[in-house]
């Protein structure tokens, strides 16, 4: 059943066709977010507390909103209504990732200007690229039926290699956090079947990261089947790096925002490894573990497995 139309007004303006950037961890969502955030008129947020609270509640416990489509949509709308508000303290209240994307510096809570990075009168588009937004995609499109989704995919082996270097991200896999027994199926960890759940305790960290990437890619495929080309565009990370101008042009045409390829490809420490860096950073055993878990998805979206001619 299609969601009822709701008029959401933030900063005195109606929210029409908001843009959301989604993808697996380390897939390159931050590169697209930076380019969009620096486009004239685009008020893009990353990791606003009101939004993250809902995102992680829904992502880690899908049972709390399953079958409650309109209620979940209402909660998300309220979260974004708060997250998109322009406040007197401006960027001082934003998380480092959002401040860095705006060019205000990412480290230290009080670097950069205290005023907002955008004036209310200049807003022509609302957008968000919060981490793990992909796990709320169904509720998101119900909350905003006219939303435009930009999703990005990347070689799962590069994603896993980057995940393994991030202690904060790996903390999700600790027994106290990984709720695969109490919450099943569990899209956040990519645990979809009883076989997945039975195998989980014995999986290595690379394999668990691969399962999480696999789950996100499957979510992306289901989302792509459910939305029209007017509502969703899929960007490949490697194409973004190799053909930034063409990628920027495609994103600009899809969103209606003038996206700069220079902003999109400017160096980021998160992406120092580049495309194919997993060959240098993963051991042969780790690469084999990743491909054992996610090989079907890697092949399906066009990546060649190790040893394949």
Domains and CATH numbers, the chain: 11-300 (3.40.50.300)
Q: How far is CA 213 from CA 81, 89, 189, 284, in A?
A: 30, 37, 8, 19
Q: How far apart are CA 283 and CA 31, in angstroms?
A: 27
Q: Which pLDDT score, from 0 to 100, does residue 75 have? A: 92
Contact by Cβ (8 Å): 234, 302: no
**DSSP element (H, E) containing 263:** helix 261-265
**DSSP element (H, E) containing 13:** strand 13-14
Q: Confidence class of residue 107 from pLDDT cuts 50, 70 and 90?
A: very low
Q: In this structure, what is the dihedral angle of CA atoms 264, 269, 272, 275, given to the nearest 10 degrees?
A: -50
Q: Which pLDDT score, from 0 to 100, does residue 93 have? A: 65
Q: How far apart are CA 215 and CA 150, in angstroms?
A: 18
| Order of strands across the sheet that contains 232-236 | 42-45, 125-128, 19-23, 148-153, 232-236
Residue-wise pLDDT tens digits, 213-249: 999 999 999 999 999 999 999 999 999 999 999 999 9
Contact by Cβ (8 Å): 216, 301: no
State CA 275 to chain mean position distance. 18
Q: Confidence class of residue 86 from pLDDT cuts 50, 70 and 90?
A: confident
Q: Confidence class of residue 121 from pLDDT cuts 50, 70 and 90?
A: confident
**Among the listed residues 239, 260, 257, the one whose alpha carbon sits nearest the alpha carbon of residue 248:** 260
**DSSP element (H, E) containing 37:** helix 29-37
Query: Which DSSP symbol is given to 68?
Result: -
Q: Which pLDDT score, from 0 to 100, does residue 14 have? A: 87
pLDDT (average), residues 141-167: 95
- Tell me: pLDDT of 76 over 60: yes
pTM above 0.75, yes or no: yes
- Residue 239 burial (CB < 10 Å; 0-12/13-18/19+)? middle
């Amino acid at each position: 059943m299609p969601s009822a139309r709701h008029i959401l007004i933030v900063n005195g303006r109606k929210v029409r066709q908001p843009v959301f950037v989604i993808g697996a961890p380390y897939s390159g969502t931050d590169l697209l977010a930076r380019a969009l955030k620096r486009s004239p008129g685009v008020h893009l947020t990353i990791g606003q507390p009101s939004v993250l609270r809902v995102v992680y509640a829904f992502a880690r416990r899908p049972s709390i909103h399953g079958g409650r489509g309109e209620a979940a949509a209402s909660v998300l709308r309220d979260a974004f209504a708060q997250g998109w508000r322009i406040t007197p303290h401006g960027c001082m209240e934003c998380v480092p990732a959002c401040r860095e994307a705006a060019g205000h510096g990412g480290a230290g809570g009080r670097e950069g200007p205290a005023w907002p990075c955008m004036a209310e009168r200049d807003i022509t588009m609302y957008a968000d690229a919060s981490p793990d937004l992909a796990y709320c995609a169904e509720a998101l499109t119900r909350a905003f039926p006219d939303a435009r989704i930009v999703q990005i995919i990347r070689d799962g082996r590069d994603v896993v290699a980057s995940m393994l270097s991030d202690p904060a991200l790996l903390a999700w896999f600790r027994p106290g956090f990984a709720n695969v027994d109490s919450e099943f199926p569990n899209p956040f960890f990519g645990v979809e079947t009883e076989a997945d759940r039975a195998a989980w305790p014995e999986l290595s960290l690379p394999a668990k990261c691969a399962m999480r990437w696999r789950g996100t890619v499957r979510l992306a495929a289901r989302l792509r089947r459910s939305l029209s080309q007017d509502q969703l565009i899929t960007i490949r990370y490697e194409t973004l790096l190799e053909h930034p101008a063409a990628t920027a042009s495609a994103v600009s045409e899809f969103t209606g925002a003038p996206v700069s390829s220079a902003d999109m490809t400017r160096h980021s420490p998160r992406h120092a490894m580049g495309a194919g860096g997993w060959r240098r950073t993963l051991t042969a055993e780790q690469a084999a573990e990743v491909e054992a878990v996610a090989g079907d998805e890697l092949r399906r979206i066009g990546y060649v497995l190790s040893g394949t001619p």
